Amino acid sequence: MKLTEDPHRRLNPLTNQWVLVSPHRTSRPWQGEVAHIKTEAEPKYDPSCYLCPGNARAGGVRNPAYTSTFVFDNDFAALKPGTQRECLDTDGLGLLVAQGEPGICRVICFSPRHDLTLATMTPGEIEPVVHTWMTQFRELGEIDFINHVQIFENRGAMMGASNPHPHCQIWATSSVPVEPENELAAQRTYLQSKKHCLLCDYIMVEQRQGKRVLFENDGFVALVPFWAVWPFEVLVCSRRHLGSMNDFISGDAQNLSLMLHRVTSTYDKVFGVPFPYSMGFHQSPTDGTVHPEWHFHAHFYPPLLRSATIRKFMVGFEMLGNAQRDITPEIVAARLRELSGSDS
């Protein structure tokens, strides 16, 4: 079987999910198609933006005249800290089960500037954002009923981002959500059976093969995972075995800032538009126990497929069977490496 030609399945060892790869359906290497759509430049300050400094939010609270990052509790929080964590099995058969989910939702503005993105901010401007994430992760993780802290960014209207102002969200929950729960189980099983960390081993294999690695610095490595589902999916891992931002030492915040800037600015070159994506950090649960199996990483899931307007939909076989892709992760990695080195 040739991974460059024949239809095959690839296993995601972090989730134990398969993805179907159909390389023969892309008859020629991906050409790259730069958008002809004009994206209107955002103003530096938007009087109607509820995230800009000094503006009023829903409910009438006024933002301070902040000059760096700004954190507040989400006015439309999906979770509430006071919820009782009780489990209901309404019919006693385990078929109608519900559980109370106490949690905290916050919003972090990356910058007072309405018109910036991680791609257009400098690494030096991103560094205070990383420090804010570190503070928030520690603070929320230390709360008794918080057992998992999910930091994530939805970028672009295509991903449902309601506001272009550079910001992210934190949903801190009592339960470990499904994705990290699956990854926790897989990493734990791997550590028990191989006596090594799954992602430490995976990074070593990728560095050895070199085909899917995009770039590295002293702290982090970015690659297109072998099992990527989204066309331009990227995984960023710490090179050292860190469980979470709580393990960061001097230099890590700076290196992560450089890495996030490199990934997002490379994305913007793919179709010549601000690239939409959902990204987030997967960190060790904050449940008060040690997690030697967990390895700090971030996932970037961009929806775009062949152009600035054609997105991938998870429908049909993907809804009923499993995820599928045509263009291989190896071709995408080569293209992203090429773009990251170009100044266009």
Query: Contact positions toward Zn ion, by CB under 5 A?
Result: 46, 49, 51-52, 114, 165, 183, 197, 199-200, 241, 282, 295
Least CB distance from residue 192 to Zn ion, whole Å?
A: 14
In 25-122, where does DSSP find H-type helix?
none
Q: Give the DSSP H or E segment for 12.
A: strand 8-12
Beta bridge partners, 222, equal 215, 236
For the bound state, the minimum distance from the C-beta of residue 310 to Zn ion, rounded and expressed in Å, comes to: 27
| Least spacing, CB of residue 297 vs Zn ion, in Å | 6
Enumerate residues 6+ apart whose C-beta is below 8 A from 337: 214, 215
Compare residues 9 and 194 and give the one whose CB is closer to Zn ion.
194
Q: How far apart are CA 271 and CA 158, in angstroms?
A: 14
- To Zn ion, the closest distance from the beta carbon of 122 in angstroms equals 19
| Active-site choice (114, 148, 167, 295) | 167
Contact status, residue 17 vs residue 225, Cβ threshold 8 Å: no
CB under 8 Å to 314, separation ≥6 — which residues? 323
User: Between 57 and 337, whose beta carbon lies closer to Zn ion?
Assistant: 57
Alpha-carbon distance of 207 to 200, in angstroms, equals 11
Q: Which residues contact 202 (CB under 8 A, 6 or more apart)?
A: 13, 237
Identify the burial level of 94 via C-beta atoms within 10 angstroms of its C-beta, where 0-12 means exposed, 13-18 middle and 19 or more buried: exposed
Long-range contacts of 39-43 (CB under 8 A, 24+ apart): 39/273, 39/274, 41/115, 42/114, 42/115, 42/164, 43/114, 43/115
Least gap, CB of 46 to Zn ion (angstroms): 5
- For 294, other C-beta atoms within 10 Å of its C-beta total 24
Looking at the DSSP assignment, which residues form a beta bridge with residue 97? 89
8 a catalytic residue: no
Distance CA(307)–CA(64), nearest Å, equals 39
The residue among 35 and 185 lying less far from Zn ion, judged by its C-beta, is 185
Select 51 or 236, whichever has its Cβ closest to Zn ion.
Answer: 51
Minimum distance from CB of 295 to Zn ion (Å)?
A: 4
Q: Are strands 213-216 and 167-173 parallel, antiparallel or unpaired?
A: unpaired
Least distance in angstroms from the C-beta of 285 to Zn ion: 12
109 or 331: CB nearest Zn ion: 109
The size of the chain, in residues, is 344
| 330, containing H or E segment | helix 329-341
Whole-angstrom distance, CA of residue 129 vs CA of residue 259: 13
Which residues are part of the catalytic machinery?
167
